[in-house]
Amino acid sequence: MINKSSSSNSSIRILIISPYHGGSHQAWAEGYLQFSQHDVQILTLPARFWKWRMHGGSVTLANKFLDKKYNDQIRLLTGLSDKTLPDVIFATDMVDLTTFLALTRTHTSSLPVVLYMHENQLTYPLPVDAGTGPMRRQRGERDHHYSFINYASMLAADRILFNSRHHMNSLFKELFRFLKQFPDYNELNTIPALRGKSTILPVGIDFQRFGAAKADKEGDAWPLILWNQRWEYDKNPEMFFEALYRIAEEGIPFRLALCGQNFRQRPIEFEEASNRLANHIVFQGYANDRQYARLLWEATVTISTAEHEFFGISIAEAIYCRTFPVLPNRLSYPELIPPNYHQDCLYNTKEGLLRRIRRALTQSAEVSAITDELAKNVCQFDWKIIAPRYDEFLSNMIRK
């Protein structure tokens, strides 16, 4: 359990339930804990075995919640003498919320519950190769059980928060198809009610941690292209590298940094690129915080070819560090870029992708002016701005 206590008389007690506590989920929960004015506790499990976390995590976390030692620890850390229960439960989409609430009903039946949708199991893309990826045991077919956990959790929550408009709209579009397939009592009438209690509140990002690493992008060095996303099929590395092979063949100079998490065996696309782009690669592998900050500030352009993105934290981080983004004109990316810069940054075709990469690598002064404006815009996602919005939203849950 992670805790921060506030002495403010107007603060409320918030319990974040995070059964897959790693990566963006951990950064989100601990970022809010750091910047919130409320008393925040986080109940967690390690970020591994994601399917088992969605199945059994709620049982384990319910037991932790009910455990006397846990309640005594809350009392000790918060200084509470007569009340240890939170005022609001704030759960992530990895929680089987119905099970958690059922097992803790003697303590939580009257508490308001908010569900935060980082992602969902209805629209997460499946790989072309049925033998790889999260649903390989189902031979590439989506396992409806996990989708139903998301649906039932949404029903059980009092309010639902989404990290982007794209995420919310795509989920409800797919939810209609998901429920419609069932033979009877498919509960399509629940969809308007779920929409009615849904709101968009973006994730917060701690941009300040990049401040000390600021570097000069100018100089004699070749411009740096940065990949700062997961090394996974849904980020479409094949299209990314195909574009870079073309740029290299055209003789346009560039350096390449390949950083990001890899949760399986090294993808074959990265193996091939290690050979074909060996003279361009200056960094490859998982970057620690210091290395990552340096690469963000040094990079000229960051490119996404993703088939899936619910928000785009890594892209927002690069934009903050004055790195020019070249992104698909779909998913959540149009929400990260002001409309008057969509034509500069967003592409619809492979040729459109190549044109924007060439421009970013060869027209530094023009691109630099755009990156300054984009950086100002992306500051709206700084935790210092986002956390008060969360605080107000959750406080209003108590007043109702």
Confidence (pLDDT) at 269:
87
Confidence (pLDDT) at 156:
98
pLDDT greater than 60 at residue 225: yes
Q: What would the DSSP string read from start to end of 20-51?
A: EESHHHHHHHHHHHHH-SSEEEEEEEES--HH
pLDDT in tens, 310-337: 999 999 999 999 999 999 999 999 999 9
Confidence (pLDDT) at 12:
95
| pTM (whole model) above 0.75 | yes
Confidence of residue 364 (pLDDT cuts 50, 70, 90): confident
Confidence (pLDDT) at 47:
93
Flag the least confident range among 75-79, 195-199, 344-348, 363-367.
75-79
Confidence of residue 266 (pLDDT cuts 50, 70, 90): low
Confidence (pLDDT) at 81:
41
Confidence (pLDDT) at 84:
73
Say what the alpha-carbon torsion angle 320, 239, 130, 229 is, to the nearest 10 degrees.
-20
* AA letter at 15: L
Instruction: Give me the CATH topology for the region 2-204+383-399.
Output: Rossmann fold (3.40.50)
pLDDT in tens, 76-94: 554 444 457 899 999 999 9
Query: Nearest 5°: phi and psi at 69?
Result: -65, -40
Confidence (pLDDT) at 387:
98
Confidence (pLDDT) at 7:
52
Confidence of residue 263 (pLDDT cuts 50, 70, 90): low
Instruction: Give me the CATH topology for the region 207-381.
Output: Rossmann fold (3.40.50)
pLDDT in tens, 97-137: 999 999 999 999 999 999 999 999 999 887 766 555 555 45
Strand ranges in 247-394 using DSSP code E only, listed in sequence order: 255-259, 281-285, 301-303, 324-328, 346-347
pLDDT greater than 70 at residue 72: no
In terms of DSSP bridges, do strands 2-4 and 39-46 run parallel, antiparallel, or are they unpaired? antiparallel
Confidence (pLDDT) at 82:
40
In the chain, which residues fall in CATH 3.40.50.2000? 2-204+383-399, 207-381
- Sheet containing strand 301-303, edge to edge, reads 281-285, 255-259, 224-227, 301-303, 324-328, 346-347
